[in-house]
Amino acid sequence: MRVVLDFVANHLSRQHPAFVAAQADPASPTRAWFFFRDYPQTYEAFYDVPDQPVVNTDLPAVREYLIGAAQYWLGDDTRRLKLAALCQFTLPQPPILYYGTEVGLSQRQAVGRLEEARLPMLWNEQQDRSLLDFYRRLIQLRRRTTDVWSEPRTMVRVDDEHGLYAYRCGAYLVVLNNHDQATALACPAAELILSTDAGATLVGEQLGLPPFAGAICRFD
């Protein structure tokens, strides 16, 4: 797997540490990453949206960073892909699934002729059946609970050091473990609805998650 949806690698967030540093100090190493017109307030932005400053992809340092960001999510298996999908499908906005991602389809290169933008669809034994099954279950859950994710979201746990993020919408709790170590979280939920990893457990009032795994639990 080499693609997660469309990896739009030409801009960052205005809150990204690299941009914050570039705006605060003209001598910052990341100052050249961005196209400032009237430093520090005016700069080139993706579709002129100030929250998305465009980066200079001609710079080796920028390319190295963007490639590293993509590799971080892709890794050597589909665990992070499932984790990202679990987060995406529990956001208020309609989720977008790029053709073939659900079965592990890749592509030859990021740009080029249309026929090179995406390989032909995988069929039968070529498909990643585990990934496809996960997406089917995730889509079914989304259809049943679409209105839930538009409700106010309550942050339950944010732990940057250990890559743990948990939030609640209505009767549902979403827990994401973006870390290479297993973790546990107090969770007085009634049922474990969906997980990205078969090793996820809900015993008593404690949710256990393997590395790079996520789960959705439901309260009574």
Preceding peptide of 188 cis, ω within 30°: no
Q: What is the pLDDT of residues 149-189, one digit of tens each?
A: 999 999 999 998 889 999 999 999 999 999 999 999 999 87
C-alpha to C-alpha distances, 194 to 19, 83, 88, nearest whole angstrom: 37, 12, 14
Does the reported pTM lie above 0.75?
no
Q: What is the pLDDT of residues 60-91, one digit of tens each?
A: 999 999 988 877 766 556 888 899 999 999 99
Q: What is the pLDDT of residues 5-15, one digit of tens each?
A: 556 788 999 99
Domains of the chain in sequence order: 17-74 (no CATH), 79-148 (no CATH), 153-218 (2.60.40.1180)
- Please report the pLDDT score of residue 1 as a whole number: 36
On average, the pLDDT of the chain sits at 86
pLDDT grade, residue 3 (50/70/90)? very low
Give kind and range of the element (H or E) at residue 10: none
C-alpha to C-alpha distances, 74 to 2, 3, 23, 71, 215, nearest whole angstrom: 7, 8, 30, 5, 19
Weakest mean pLDDT among 8-17, 195-204, 207-216: 8-17
- Please report the pLDDT score of residue 149 as a whole number: 92
Give CA–CA dist 43/35, Å, rounded: 5
- Please report the pLDDT score of residue 2 as a whole number: 39
